[in-house]
Structure formats: C-alpha cells, structure tokens
Amino acid sequence: FNENHDEITLLLNAYEGKNLAAATRGLVDALFGDKGLVIIDGDDTELKRSFLPVIEKELSERPSLEAVEKTNLSLQREGIGLQVKPRQLNFFYLDDHMRSGIDVSGDKFTIHQVGDFSKEEIIDLARKHPERFSPNVVLRPVYQEYILPNLMYVGGGGEISYWLQLKGVFESFDVDYPMIRVRNSVMWIDAITEKKISKLDLPLHSLFRREEEIKKEYIEANESEVLDDEALTSALEVLKGEILDYVLEADPSLEQYARAEGAKIDKQVDAIRSKVVRAAKAKHDTAMGAISAIRSRLFPENELQERYMNFFHFCAEGNVNERLEQLYSSLDPYEPDLIVIREC
C-alpha cells in the first residue's frame, strides 16, 4: 500500500470530463489551483465572439501571412531560427467531430468536409458561429492577448523565438504586443542519479560536457599513472630531434623525408595512446555505463529534460504535492539561468 495512494486517487478522479479539454482543466486545477491559477476556456462562444473583429479581418484581408513573412526575413538575416510557418489563412474550422484547415483560392474559401464559401458567406458563418473558428499557431497568441492582455509574456527559448515572429501580426490587428522574457529552466537530479554522481565523484559542471569528454576525464583522473605520457612525449621529441640531426648531417637534402617519417612516428604513438585509453575504459566498464545513464537522465537526446520528460517522471512514489512544492519554492520566473535541483 502506497502512503500517497489518496493523493494519486484525487488526481486520477480530477482527470475526467466530457472531453480531453475538460479532463485537462480538472487535472491542472487539482495540481495548481491553490497557487492562484486562472483557467479560461478558449473555445467559449462569448470569448470567440469578442474576437470577431480579428476573425473578420483575417477572412477578408489575410494580413497575418504577409506580416509573418516580412518578420521572418528580418529574423533570418539576424541568424535566428524560425519556429512557425504561416498559412494563407491562419484559422481552423471546428465542429463537434472534426477540425479542418481553411484553404483560399481567390475569393473562394474551402473547408474540407464542409464545402465552399464566398467571402461574404464565410464571414456570415463566422458571425453566426464564431466558436467554430479556431486560431492556429500564428493567431493563437493574438487571441490570448486580445481576451486577456498581459504586460509580459514569460516563455521558454523556443516559445520566445516563435513570439518574435509574431510582432508584426499583432500590429496588423492593432493588438498590444507584450514584453517578452525568457523563463528559467530546471534540471532535476533525482536521488538515484545523485547517488551515481557522488559515487563517481563527478563535479556538477563536468556533466554539461559531451558524454565522451566526461568519460575521458574520468579515465584520466582514475588512471593517471597509466595515462601520464608526458615523459614518453618528451622522450619522443628528443628522439625525433636526434634522428633529424643525424639525417641532416649525412645529407641535408633528406630533411623533408626525415620530417615525414617523424610525422609517421607521431601517428603510430597516437594509435598506441588510443589503445591504452580503450583498455583503461574497459577496466572501468561499470563507471562508463553509469556515466552514460547519468548523461541520458540529465540530457535526454542531448536536450534539456523539459523537452522530453514529464513532471510525473519525478513522482515515481506518488509524492506529487511534495515535488510541486519543491519546484514552487525553487523557481523564480525572472531568473535567467538554469536551476539545478539535487535530491539527497
């Protein structure tokens, strides 16, 4: 019997409703409701009706495409990667059973599985049923700032890049564009991973290097006598110098040949060094596996944890509220650096 059984049951019970949106709202409210969270249903008919001026302008003039493309050119000149590709018309059409893109050809609008409309007909449809018009990735931020204006938007690096593409879209619909700021990110080192790090005596800063570099440093630190080839390197340089002097004394025209042979010796010695390192790694096979596991846990697919791992990955014992409080007390949305949380 898990001591967090009741906590888990409450969350499972909260995740219910007539559709995925309702179930998600219930779960998010159960998790964060006591933190002052406000949840708004973006598909609410009256909210969509308030957004009707933007819907009508997009249907009649389609300014968002030109605005994004113009901004994209500026961002590309600055070397900033693009996250969003606009459509000719940046709305989906929704009903109870489907979501469809809206294609435009001249003054004809085509909603797949529904039919063709003239400009006047589709605007009339929007006025009667604004809830059926859902902004896509280009217009969703405009919608959220239209119905709930903010002084500042705080988001991740990818989200900020995406918002940078949309400033012109906000201007084209005369909607205030908020200040934007990059939020902090978190690296969560769970207790098992922390134990592995401590056992190998790995400094935290080393874990931000590539896996092979971490392994090499570990081998060098634990096989210092075997891998300390400074004496060998010095002796080799002396030997090459003596060979060169010997050759030059015999025949100066053989200098290029002697230096080429010296380069071959360097390559042979490098091959010997590589074999020695591989042999040392084999002696520390368990440690090498642990380093791989640590690096994979902290940087899955060589990305930040937040790109691949869900918060519930760190609640294996069901202690969700405890984990949330740890995060809540550790985070500062205006702190630009990566925050590392280490379990004992």
Model confidence pLDDT, tens digit, residues 206-243: 999 999 999 988 888 887 655 556 777 788 888 888 88
User: Who wins on pLDDT, 18 or 108?
Assistant: 108
Most confident by average pLDDT, 147-151, 184-188, 253-257: 147-151
pLDDT digits (tens, 9 = 90+) for 259-307: 888 888 888 888 887 887 777 777 788 889 999 999 999 999 998 898 8
Is 197's pLDDT higher than 90?
A: yes
User: Who wins on pLDDT, 268 or 196?
Assistant: 196
Buried/exposed code over 319-334 (b: 16+ C-beta within 10 A; e: otherwise):
bbbebbeeeeeeeeee
Dist CA 155 CA 179 (whole Å): 11
pLDDT digits (tens, 9 = 90+) for 83-142: 888 899 999 999 877 889 999 998 899 998 889 999 999 999 999 999 999 999 999 999
Average pLDDT on 182-192 reads: 89
**Alpha-carbon distances of 241 from 245, 260, 261, 265, rounded to whole Å:** 6, 13, 12, 12
Dist CA 245 CA 120 (whole Å): 93
What's the pLDDT score for residue 314?
Answer: 84
Helix axes 255-283, 285-298, angle to 10 degrees: 80
Average pLDDT on 69-84 reads: 84
% pLDDT > 90, the chain = 42
79 CB neighbour count, 10 Å cutoff: 6
Dist CA 155 CA 32 (whole Å): 18
Average pLDDT on 77-87 reads: 83
pTM of this prediction? Answer: 0.72
Long-range Cβ pairs for the range 168-171 (8 Å, 24+): 168/67, 168/68, 168/70, 168/71, 169/63, 169/64, 169/67, 169/68, 169/138, 169/139, 169/142, 170/141, 170/142, 170/145, 171/67
